[in-house]
Structure 1
Amino acid sequence: MELTQIFTVAGKEFRDRIRNRWVLAVALVFAVFSLVIAYFGGAQQGAVGFRSIEFTIASLVSLVIYLIPLIALLLGFDAIVGERERGSLDLLLSLPITRLELLLGKYLGLAAALTLSTLVGFGLVAVLLYQHVSWSGLYHYIGFMISSVLLGLAFLSMAVLMSVIARDRTRASGLAIAMWFFFVLVFDLLLLGILVGTGGSFGGDAFAWLLLLNPADVFRILNVFSLDEVRTLYGLASIVPSSLGSPAIMGGVMVAWIVLPLALARWRFK
């Protein structure tokens, strides 16, 4: 495996996203939504303006769970199948580059664009709110930004896997949207329905562990357990053991969600 080949492909993918202003557009979306939530998130309680970093993070977690997975899936669903439909995949593979180098290069380039847009978007909010945030609050906000990047990378890995499996862009886009619905909307409702329908006899003790099967829930646990007030707002402390609240454990699970889909994509692409 040649790193030069990987970085060449990654650089090309990253420059394409910079050239079409994709990074700027996503960063602006994150910044605008974050500012709106930070200043107007308490309007329902009759309060407008920045309240606390705990309340801001709790509000932004809900935004990130809906927005970042969708953006990551739309960004990566045609990484491989798009090249196949355009007829350029055979040309690329005829060059002195392996399938693994091409796959990693594609992923790293897209990951760099997604990471940059996420950090810039949420970083602008941190700069604008730094007068209201203590160093401790800023530390937790940086942790929230890093976990948001990991969430995006996890869904980007799944998007690349779908791109390798699908036969055309239409099917790949359909799989990406279906995956977003399942992990963001259906998964938690399904678990809750089973738990309530069986009166807690099925999945009661294992409920917290089943949440690890969804990277969106891993992201939620990672941020909810970082601050006591955020944990109270979400009410997850009663069903999630404190051992799962460790940032190291949840970070490791999130890394597994990044690596495993890429490993499957590599196997299928090969």
Structure 2
Amino acid sequence: MVSRILTIAQQELRIGIRNRWILLATLILAFFSLALALLGSAPAGTLGVDRLTITVASLASLSVYLVPLIALLLAFDAVCGEIERGTLLMTFSCPISRTEFLLGKTIGHTLVLTIALVAGYGLTAAVLLTMGTGSLSGLADFARLVATSVLLGICFLAIGYVLSSLTRQLGTAAAAAIAAWLLFVVLYDLALLGALVANPSGFFASHVFPYAILLNPADAFRLFNLAALGASDLVGGMSGVSETLPFDPTLAFISLLAFAAIVLTASAILIRRITP
């Protein structure tokens, strides 16, 4: 069982590393990470905060946009792409279960995502430490950012697998992936903001909004990281929200784990029902 899963994972790792879009996304991660690190010198001096910590606070917001996009680029053709290329029937004719197939895909794509994040963000951490503007506590914040970014990516890998299992054509899956990114990363927050503006002190603001944040992995990720940094003096927005929540921000991390588990289970159920 393990060897079959690792075989699929190795194949996806090779494909992902050769993917030009993933390479481009990694370069974008590195570029913006370095830019934010260099531009973060001013608030670091004013607040007396480690520049590495300032950079992590900025990258927590950047990751919300780029990590889900990278994950969906990896996952949108995981099933329908195999169907369109005619390789899914051949794969399932081998002694491998559909759950093993999904686990192999998930492990391989997670490794690709981890490599992209370590390469993209690790370069910035190395530069700051070399310049003497980073500390061990800031490095721990950076490691937490990378780890939770991988978890955020797994959530969107799972979404991509669900979409790929529901479609039979690559074009349709790609369009669905873009729509999912817009929904979770852009439109969801706009809807919450609109509801808050319409009724800033009513039932929605006090009883619905805090828990609505937990339902979106992008918001849960940002909430957990900024709350862990105590970033209210560093950035606005979600950091201020974390101070007024009716629950511990650690629940946001738990919601990420739960979201990934639930959606991966849903994708496994859908893949079992596919007839290649």
- TM (norm. structure 2) is 0.87
Deviation at 1:51, TM superposition (A): 7.3
Deviation at 1:18, TM superposition (A): 2.6
How many residue pairs end up in the alignment? 263
Map Cα deviations across residues 142-172 of structure 1 (whole Å, 9 max, x no partner).
1111111111111111111111111211111
Corresponding position of 2:148: 147
Map Cα deviations across residues 88-114 of structure 1 (whole Å, 9 max, x no partner).
111111111111111111121111111
| 2:54–2:234 Cα contact (<8 Å) kept | no
Corresponding position of 2:6: 7
Percent of aligned positions that are identical? 39
Map Cα deviations across residues 162-218 of structure 1 (whole Å, 9 max, x no partner).
111112111111110001101111101101212222353241222111101111101
Corresponding position of 1:115: 114
Hey, what's the Cα distance between the residues in 2 that align with 1:173 and 1:237? 33
1:80–1:21 distance in 2 versus 1, CA, 3 Å: same
Hey, what's the Cα distance between the residues in 2 that align with 1:58 and 1:225? 10
Deviation at 1:22, TM superposition (A): 6.2
1:231–1:155 distance in 2 versus 1, CA, 3 Å: farther
- TM (norm. structure 1) is 0.89
1:20–1:71 distance in 2 versus 1, CA, 3 Å: closer
Map Cα deviations across residues 39-71 of structure 1 (whole Å, 9 max, x no partner).
135789xx9xx9723321222122111111111
> Which AA in structure 2 matches 1:193?
G
Hey, what's the Cα distance between the residues in 2 that align with 1:196 and 1:22? 38
- Which ranges of structure 1 fall in alignment gaps of 5 or more residues? none
Corresponding position of 1:170: 171
Corresponding position of 1:80: 79
> Which AA in structure 2 matches 1:191?
L
Comparing 75-84 with 54-63, greater Cα deviation is found at: 54-63
Corresponding position of 2:214: 212
1:52–1:43 distance in 2 versus 1, CA, 3 Å: closer
- Which ranges of structure 2 fall in alignment gaps of 5 or more residues? none
Hey, what's the Cα distance between the residues in 1 that align with 2:233 and 2:151? 20
